Amino acid sequence: MKETLAELERWGADVIFGRAKGFRASMMRLAMSALSGVYRGLVQTRLLVYRRRWRQQHHLGTLVVSIGNLTVGGTGKTPVVELLARTLRDEGRRVAILSRGYKSRRLKTPQNWKDKDGNKLPPDKMPKVVSTGRALLLDSKFAGDEPFMLARNLNGVAVVVDKDRVKGGRFAVGQLGADTLVLDDGLQYLHLAHGIDIVLVDRSAPFGTGAILPRGTLREPPRNLCRASYILITKCDGTPNDALIERLRRYNRVAPIIECTHGPRYLEEVFTGEHQPLDFLKDKWTAAISGIAVPEGFERSLEKLGARVEIRRRFSDHHRFSRKEIDKFMERCIERDMELVVTTEKDAVRFPRPKEVIVPVYFLRIEVEILKGHDDWSDLIARLCHPGAPGDPVLRHRDAYAM
Protein backbone atom coordinates (compact mmCIF):
# COMPACT_ATOMS: atom_id res chain seq x y z
CA MET A 1 0.00 0.00 0.00
CA LYS A 2 2.81 2.38 0.96
CA GLU A 3 4.65 1.71 -2.29
CA THR A 4 1.46 2.22 -4.31
CA LEU A 5 0.80 5.59 -2.67
CA ALA A 6 4.41 6.63 -3.28
CA GLU A 7 4.08 5.67 -6.96
CA LEU A 8 0.85 7.70 -7.25
CA GLU A 9 2.55 10.68 -5.62
CA ARG A 10 5.46 10.48 -8.05
CA TRP A 11 3.11 10.16 -11.00
CA GLY A 12 1.10 13.16 -9.79
CA ALA A 13 4.29 15.22 -9.64
CA ASP A 14 5.22 14.08 -13.16
CA VAL A 15 1.77 15.18 -14.37
CA ILE A 16 2.15 18.64 -12.79
CA PHE A 17 5.67 19.19 -14.14
CA GLY A 18 4.76 17.87 -17.60
CA ARG A 19 7.05 14.85 -17.40
CA ALA A 20 4.15 12.38 -17.70
CA LYS A 21 2.86 11.94 -21.26
CA GLY A 22 -0.11 10.25 -22.85
CA PHE A 23 -3.91 10.39 -22.76
CA ARG A 24 -4.31 9.64 -19.04
CA ALA A 25 -1.85 12.38 -18.05
CA SER A 26 -3.55 14.88 -20.38
CA MET A 27 -6.98 14.14 -18.89
CA MET A 28 -5.59 14.50 -15.39
CA ARG A 29 -4.08 17.88 -16.25
CA LEU A 30 -7.45 18.99 -17.64
CA ALA A 31 -9.23 17.98 -14.43
CA MET A 32 -6.56 19.68 -12.31
CA SER A 33 -6.94 22.90 -14.30
CA ALA A 34 -10.65 23.03 -13.44
CA LEU A 35 -9.88 22.45 -9.75
CA SER A 36 -7.25 25.21 -9.83
CA GLY A 37 -9.95 27.82 -10.33
CA VAL A 38 -11.77 26.56 -7.24
CA TYR A 39 -8.54 26.54 -5.23
CA ARG A 40 -7.68 30.09 -6.28
CA GLY A 41 -11.09 31.28 -5.08
CA LEU A 42 -10.65 29.58 -1.71
CA VAL A 43 -7.17 31.10 -1.25
CA GLN A 44 -8.33 34.63 -2.00
CA THR A 45 -11.44 34.25 0.18
CA ARG A 46 -9.29 33.10 3.10
CA LEU A 47 -7.00 36.11 2.70
CA LEU A 48 -10.03 38.40 2.64
CA VAL A 49 -11.38 36.85 5.84
CA TYR A 50 -8.18 37.71 7.70
CA ARG A 51 -7.76 41.09 6.00
CA ARG A 52 -11.26 42.17 7.05
CA ARG A 53 -10.60 40.72 10.53
CA TRP A 54 -13.61 38.45 10.35
CA ARG A 55 -11.16 35.95 11.79
CA GLN A 56 -8.63 37.24 14.28
CA GLN A 57 -4.89 36.68 14.12
CA HIS A 58 -2.99 35.83 17.30
CA HIS A 59 -0.30 38.20 18.61
CA LEU A 60 2.12 36.55 21.02
CA GLY A 61 3.75 39.72 22.30
CA THR A 62 7.06 38.94 20.63
CA LEU A 63 8.86 39.29 17.31
CA VAL A 64 7.61 36.93 14.56
CA VAL A 65 9.48 36.61 11.25
CA SER A 66 7.97 34.47 8.50
CA ILE A 67 10.05 32.84 5.77
CA GLY A 68 7.96 31.38 2.97
CA ASN A 69 7.20 31.30 -0.73
CA LEU A 70 4.39 31.37 -3.25
CA THR A 71 5.24 27.95 -4.66
CA VAL A 72 5.39 24.39 -3.36
CA GLY A 73 8.97 23.44 -2.52
CA GLY A 74 12.20 23.98 -4.41
CA THR A 75 13.10 27.56 -3.44
CA GLY A 76 15.87 26.68 -0.99
CA LYS A 77 13.98 27.80 2.08
CA THR A 78 15.71 25.70 4.74
CA PRO A 79 19.23 27.14 4.20
CA VAL A 80 17.74 30.67 4.41
CA VAL A 81 15.95 29.80 7.67
CA GLU A 82 19.26 28.47 8.99
CA LEU A 83 21.17 31.59 7.93
CA LEU A 84 18.64 33.97 9.48
CA ALA A 85 18.32 32.02 12.74
CA ARG A 86 22.10 31.75 13.12
CA THR A 87 22.60 35.46 12.41
CA LEU A 88 19.91 36.51 14.90
CA ARG A 89 21.35 34.13 17.51
CA ASP A 90 24.82 35.57 17.02
CA GLU A 91 23.36 39.07 17.47
CA GLY A 92 21.98 38.10 20.87
CA ARG A 93 18.38 37.15 20.09
CA ARG A 94 16.83 34.09 21.78
CA VAL A 95 15.52 32.37 18.67
CA ALA A 96 12.98 29.58 18.25
CA ILE A 97 12.03 28.11 14.87
CA LEU A 98 8.37 27.12 14.50
CA SER A 99 7.71 24.38 11.95
CA ARG A 100 4.76 22.31 10.89
CA GLY A 101 6.93 19.19 10.72
CA TYR A 102 5.63 18.06 7.36
CA LYS A 103 5.30 14.23 7.14
CA SER A 104 6.63 13.76 10.68
CA ARG A 105 5.13 10.98 12.76
CA ARG A 106 2.89 11.60 15.75
CA LEU A 107 4.36 10.83 19.16
CA LYS A 108 2.58 7.98 20.96
CA THR A 109 2.68 10.02 24.15
CA PRO A 110 3.52 13.74 24.51
CA GLN A 111 6.95 14.64 25.81
CA ASN A 112 7.22 15.11 29.53
CA TRP A 113 7.73 18.79 30.33
CA LYS A 114 7.60 20.67 33.63
CA ASP A 115 7.15 24.43 33.85
CA LYS A 116 9.25 26.73 36.02
CA ASP A 117 7.08 25.90 39.04
CA GLY A 118 7.65 22.17 38.59
CA ASN A 119 4.15 21.45 37.28
CA LYS A 120 3.75 19.01 34.38
CA LEU A 121 2.47 20.76 31.26
CA PRO A 122 -0.88 19.36 30.05
CA PRO A 123 -0.73 17.32 26.79
CA ASP A 124 -2.90 19.86 24.94
CA LYS A 125 -0.28 22.54 25.62
CA MET A 126 2.65 20.42 24.44
CA PRO A 127 4.03 20.76 20.91
CA LYS A 128 6.87 18.49 19.80
CA VAL A 129 10.13 19.93 21.10
CA VAL A 130 12.82 18.94 18.62
CA SER A 131 15.51 21.02 20.33
CA THR A 132 15.63 23.29 23.35
CA GLY A 133 18.67 25.01 21.85
CA ARG A 134 20.84 23.04 24.25
CA ALA A 135 19.67 19.47 23.66
CA LEU A 136 18.36 17.56 20.63
CA LEU A 137 15.28 15.63 21.79
CA LEU A 138 13.73 14.01 18.69
CA ASP A 139 14.96 12.26 15.56
CA SER A 140 13.91 13.04 12.00
CA LYS A 141 11.08 10.48 12.08
CA PHE A 142 9.15 12.43 14.72
CA ALA A 143 10.60 15.89 14.05
CA GLY A 144 10.41 15.97 10.25
CA ASP A 145 13.35 16.33 7.86
CA GLU A 146 13.91 20.09 7.90
CA PRO A 147 13.24 20.67 11.65
CA PHE A 148 15.69 17.92 12.58
CA MET A 149 18.30 19.24 10.14
CA LEU A 150 17.92 22.77 11.50
CA ALA A 151 18.09 21.58 15.11
CA ARG A 152 21.24 19.57 14.42
CA ASN A 153 22.98 22.50 12.71
CA LEU A 154 21.92 25.30 15.09
CA ASN A 155 23.22 25.15 18.62
CA GLY A 156 21.51 27.75 20.77
CA VAL A 157 18.35 27.85 18.63
CA ALA A 158 15.20 26.06 19.77
CA VAL A 159 13.09 24.13 17.24
CA VAL A 160 9.42 23.43 17.95
CA VAL A 161 7.03 21.43 15.76
CA ASP A 162 3.24 21.65 15.70
CA LYS A 163 0.61 22.17 13.03
CA ASP A 164 -0.79 24.82 15.38
CA ARG A 165 2.07 27.33 15.24
CA VAL A 166 0.27 29.54 17.77
CA LYS A 167 0.53 26.73 20.34
CA GLY A 168 4.16 26.14 19.36
CA GLY A 169 4.92 29.86 19.65
CA ARG A 170 3.32 30.16 23.08
CA PHE A 171 5.42 27.23 24.30
CA ALA A 172 8.62 28.67 22.81
CA VAL A 173 8.05 32.04 24.49
CA GLY A 174 6.69 30.81 27.82
CA GLN A 175 8.79 27.69 28.38
CA LEU A 176 11.97 28.21 26.35
CA GLY A 177 12.35 31.96 26.83
CA ALA A 178 12.35 32.81 23.12
CA ASP A 179 12.11 36.47 22.18
CA THR A 180 12.23 35.88 18.40
CA LEU A 181 10.09 33.38 16.50
CA VAL A 182 11.10 32.33 12.98
CA LEU A 183 8.05 30.90 11.25
CA ASP A 184 9.31 28.27 8.79
CA ASP A 185 7.18 28.14 5.62
CA GLY A 186 4.89 30.74 7.13
CA LEU A 187 3.58 32.96 4.33
CA GLN A 188 0.27 31.07 4.15
CA TYR A 189 -0.01 30.58 7.92
CA LEU A 190 -2.22 33.54 8.79
CA HIS A 191 -3.48 32.42 12.21
CA LEU A 192 -0.30 33.86 13.76
CA ALA A 193 0.48 37.51 13.03
CA HIS A 194 3.82 38.16 11.29
CA GLY A 195 5.91 41.24 11.89
CA ILE A 196 8.05 40.58 8.81
CA ASP A 197 7.36 38.41 5.75
CA ILE A 198 10.43 37.24 3.85
CA VAL A 199 9.36 35.66 0.56
CA LEU A 200 11.72 33.51 -1.50
CA VAL A 201 11.63 33.39 -5.29
CA ASP A 202 13.59 30.73 -7.18
CA ARG A 203 15.49 32.42 -10.01
CA SER A 204 15.08 29.46 -12.35
CA ALA A 205 11.32 29.08 -11.77
CA PRO A 206 10.08 32.25 -10.03
CA PHE A 207 6.41 31.26 -10.16
CA GLY A 208 6.81 27.52 -10.41
CA THR A 209 4.98 26.00 -13.34
CA GLY A 210 2.86 29.15 -13.68
CA ALA A 211 -0.39 27.44 -12.66
CA ILE A 212 -2.19 27.30 -9.30
CA LEU A 213 -2.49 24.07 -7.31
CA PRO A 214 -3.41 21.36 -8.07
CA ARG A 215 -2.58 21.91 -11.76
CA GLY A 216 0.66 23.68 -10.98
CA THR A 217 2.97 24.47 -8.08
CA LEU A 218 1.72 27.96 -7.15
CA ARG A 219 0.08 28.14 -3.73
CA GLU A 220 -1.15 31.67 -4.44
CA PRO A 221 -1.42 33.96 -7.49
CA PRO A 222 1.76 35.96 -8.24
CA ARG A 223 0.00 39.22 -7.32
CA ASN A 224 -0.03 38.05 -3.68
CA LEU A 225 3.68 38.80 -3.63
CA CYS A 226 2.48 42.24 -2.50
CA ARG A 227 2.46 40.84 1.08
CA ALA A 228 6.26 40.46 1.10
CA SER A 229 8.30 42.73 3.38
CA TYR A 230 11.53 41.47 1.77
CA ILE A 231 12.04 39.39 -1.39
CA LEU A 232 14.99 37.01 -1.72
CA ILE A 233 15.83 35.77 -5.20
CA THR A 234 17.43 32.39 -4.54
CA LYS A 235 19.81 30.16 -6.51
CA CYS A 236 21.37 33.06 -8.43
CA ASP A 237 24.53 32.41 -10.45
CA GLY A 238 25.94 35.93 -10.62
CA THR A 239 24.33 36.86 -13.94
CA PRO A 240 21.97 39.88 -14.01
CA ASN A 241 18.38 39.40 -12.84
CA ASP A 242 17.03 42.64 -14.32
CA ALA A 243 14.15 41.02 -16.23
CA LEU A 244 13.04 39.02 -13.18
CA ILE A 245 13.28 42.05 -10.89
CA GLU A 246 11.17 44.07 -13.33
CA ARG A 247 8.58 41.30 -13.25
CA LEU A 248 8.61 41.13 -9.45
CA ARG A 249 8.10 44.90 -9.27
CA ARG A 250 4.75 44.50 -11.03
CA TYR A 251 3.49 42.80 -7.88
CA ASN A 252 5.52 44.54 -5.18
CA ARG A 253 7.01 47.99 -5.76
CA VAL A 254 8.53 48.64 -2.36
CA ALA A 255 9.99 45.49 -0.79
CA PRO A 256 13.81 45.38 -0.86
CA ILE A 257 15.03 42.67 -3.23
CA ILE A 258 18.07 40.64 -2.16
CA GLU A 259 19.87 38.27 -4.51
CA CYS A 260 21.57 35.19 -3.11
CA THR A 261 23.09 31.91 -4.19
CA HIS A 262 22.62 28.46 -2.72
CA GLY A 263 26.13 27.21 -3.21
CA PRO A 264 27.64 23.81 -2.39
CA ARG A 265 30.36 24.06 0.24
CA TYR A 266 31.65 20.54 0.87
CA LEU A 267 30.74 16.85 0.98
CA GLU A 268 30.10 15.04 4.25
CA GLU A 269 30.06 11.26 4.67
CA VAL A 270 26.62 10.33 6.00
CA PHE A 271 27.78 7.66 8.46
CA THR A 272 31.27 8.82 9.52
CA GLY A 273 30.98 12.62 9.29
CA GLU A 274 34.17 12.81 7.21
CA HIS A 275 34.41 15.97 5.07
CA GLN A 276 35.70 16.15 1.52
CA PRO A 277 36.27 19.22 -0.67
CA LEU A 278 34.05 19.74 -3.70
CA ASP A 279 36.79 18.80 -6.16
CA PHE A 280 36.60 15.30 -4.65
CA LEU A 281 33.67 14.78 -7.07
CA LYS A 282 35.64 15.53 -10.21
CA ASP A 283 35.52 12.63 -12.70
CA LYS A 284 34.05 10.27 -10.09
CA TRP A 285 31.41 7.77 -11.22
CA THR A 286 28.52 8.89 -9.07
CA ALA A 287 25.06 7.65 -8.12
CA ALA A 288 22.59 10.39 -7.12
CA ILE A 289 19.66 9.53 -4.86
CA SER A 290 17.10 12.02 -3.55
CA GLY A 291 13.56 12.53 -2.30
CA ILE A 292 13.06 16.25 -2.95
CA ALA A 293 10.65 18.41 -4.93
CA VAL A 294 13.05 19.26 -7.78
CA PRO A 295 15.75 16.55 -8.10
CA GLU A 296 16.97 17.89 -11.44
CA GLY A 297 18.61 20.90 -9.75
CA PHE A 298 20.50 18.68 -7.31
CA GLU A 299 21.72 16.40 -10.10
CA ARG A 300 22.83 19.37 -12.24
CA SER A 301 24.84 20.67 -9.28
CA LEU A 302 26.76 17.40 -9.11
CA GLU A 303 27.48 17.52 -12.84
CA LYS A 304 28.68 21.12 -12.61
CA LEU A 305 31.12 20.00 -9.93
CA GLY A 306 32.58 17.44 -12.34
CA ALA A 307 30.79 14.27 -11.19
CA ARG A 308 29.90 11.64 -13.76
CA VAL A 309 26.31 11.01 -12.68
CA GLU A 310 25.60 7.53 -14.00
CA ILE A 311 22.67 6.52 -11.77
CA ARG A 312 19.77 8.80 -10.81
CA ARG A 313 17.27 7.44 -8.27
CA ARG A 314 14.39 9.76 -7.50
CA PHE A 315 11.74 9.38 -4.82
CA SER A 316 8.79 11.62 -3.94
CA ASP A 317 9.44 14.66 -1.75
CA HIS A 318 10.11 13.75 1.91
CA HIS A 319 10.10 10.03 1.10
CA ARG A 320 11.29 7.98 4.08
CA PHE A 321 13.72 5.45 2.64
CA SER A 322 13.34 1.86 3.76
CA ARG A 323 16.32 -0.38 4.45
CA LYS A 324 15.12 -2.63 1.62
CA GLU A 325 15.10 0.25 -0.87
CA ILE A 326 18.58 1.38 0.11
CA ASP A 327 20.04 -2.14 0.04
CA LYS A 328 18.62 -2.66 -3.46
CA PHE A 329 20.00 0.72 -4.59
CA MET A 330 23.44 -0.05 -3.14
CA GLU A 331 23.51 -3.43 -4.92
CA ARG A 332 22.87 -1.60 -8.17
CA CYS A 333 25.70 0.83 -7.41
CA ILE A 334 28.11 -2.04 -6.73
CA GLU A 335 27.10 -3.80 -9.96
CA ARG A 336 27.72 -0.59 -11.94
CA ASP A 337 31.08 0.10 -10.20
CA MET A 338 30.02 3.44 -8.74
CA GLU A 339 32.73 5.21 -6.78
CA LEU A 340 30.38 7.09 -4.47
CA VAL A 341 26.75 7.83 -3.69
CA VAL A 342 25.62 11.43 -3.15
CA THR A 343 22.35 12.58 -1.63
CA THR A 344 21.02 15.88 -0.26
CA GLU A 345 21.43 16.98 3.34
CA LYS A 346 17.67 16.81 3.83
CA ASP A 347 17.64 13.21 2.59
CA ALA A 348 20.69 12.28 4.66
CA VAL A 349 18.76 12.68 7.93
CA ARG A 350 16.48 9.77 6.96
CA PHE A 351 19.02 7.64 5.10
CA PRO A 352 19.16 4.20 6.76
CA ARG A 353 22.48 2.46 7.08
CA PRO A 354 22.67 -0.23 4.38
CA LYS A 355 23.59 -3.82 5.14
CA GLU A 356 27.06 -3.16 3.75
CA VAL A 357 28.63 0.26 3.10
CA ILE A 358 30.86 -0.77 0.21
CA VAL A 359 30.22 2.42 -1.77
CA PRO A 360 30.65 5.52 0.46
CA VAL A 361 27.58 7.74 0.87
CA TYR A 362 27.96 11.54 1.05
CA PHE A 363 25.59 14.47 1.23
CA LEU A 364 26.19 17.81 -0.45
CA ARG A 365 26.26 20.63 2.08
CA ILE A 366 24.52 23.76 0.71
CA GLU A 367 24.85 27.23 2.24
CA VAL A 368 23.41 30.63 1.34
CA GLU A 369 25.57 33.56 0.28
CA ILE A 370 24.26 37.07 -0.34
CA LEU A 371 25.36 38.30 -3.77
CA LYS A 372 23.52 41.62 -4.05
CA GLY A 373 21.60 43.58 -1.47
CA HIS A 374 24.06 43.31 1.41
CA ASP A 375 22.88 46.64 2.82
CA ASP A 376 19.25 45.52 2.71
CA TRP A 377 20.14 42.29 4.49
CA SER A 378 22.09 44.22 7.13
CA ASP A 379 19.16 46.61 7.56
CA LEU A 380 16.83 43.64 8.02
CA ILE A 381 19.02 42.14 10.73
CA ALA A 382 19.39 45.52 12.45
CA ARG A 383 15.63 46.04 12.28
CA LEU A 384 15.05 42.67 13.92
CA CYS A 385 17.73 42.97 16.57
CA HIS A 386 17.28 46.54 17.77
CA PRO A 387 14.26 48.66 18.73
CA GLY A 388 12.84 50.69 15.88
CA ALA A 389 10.44 53.58 15.61
CA PRO A 390 7.16 53.14 17.50
CA GLY A 391 5.26 52.87 14.21
CA ASP A 392 7.39 49.99 12.91
CA PRO A 393 5.02 47.05 12.26
CA VAL A 394 7.72 44.67 13.49
CA LEU A 395 7.10 45.99 16.99
CA ARG A 396 4.03 44.00 17.87
CA HIS A 397 5.04 44.42 21.50
CA ARG A 398 8.03 46.51 22.57
CA ASP A 399 8.71 44.23 25.54
CA ALA A 400 9.84 41.70 22.94
CA TYR A 401 13.07 43.68 22.69
CA ALA A 402 13.92 43.43 26.38
CA MET A 403 17.18 41.48 26.44
Q: What is the DSSP string of 233-244?
A: EES--SS--HHH
**What is the length of the chain?**
403
Residues in the annotated binding site = 71-78
Residues in the annotated binding site for ATP = 71-78
CA atoms of 201 and 259, how far apart (whole Å): 10
CA atoms of 28 and 24, how far apart (whole Å): 6
CA atoms of 126 and 234, how far apart (whole Å): 35
CA atoms of 97 and 313, how far apart (whole Å): 31
- For 326-374, strand residue ranges (E) read 340-344, 361-372
pTM: predicted TM-score of the whole model, two decimal places:
0.91
Per-residue pLDDT of the chain (403 residues; tens, 9 = 90+): 666 666 777 777 777 877 778 888 889 999 999 999 999 999 999 999 999 999 999 999 899 999 999 998 778 899 999 999 999 999 999 999 999 998 899 999 999 999 888 899 999 999 999 999 999 999 999 999 999 999 999 999 999 999 999 999 999 999 999 999 999 999 999 999 999 999 999 999 999 999 999 999 999 999 999 999 999 999 998 999 999 999 999 999 999 999 999 999 999 999 999 999 999 999 999 999 999 878 888 999 999 999 999 999 999 888 899 999 999 999 999 999 999 999 999 999 999 999 888 999 999 999 999 999 999 999 999 999 885 655 556 654 434 333 3
For residue 402, what are the contacts with CB-CB under 8 A and spacing of at least 6?
Answer: 179
DSSP at 72: S
Peptide bond into 214 cis (omega under 30): yes
* Beta pairing class for 285-290 and 340-344: parallel
The helix/strand/coil state of 66 is strand
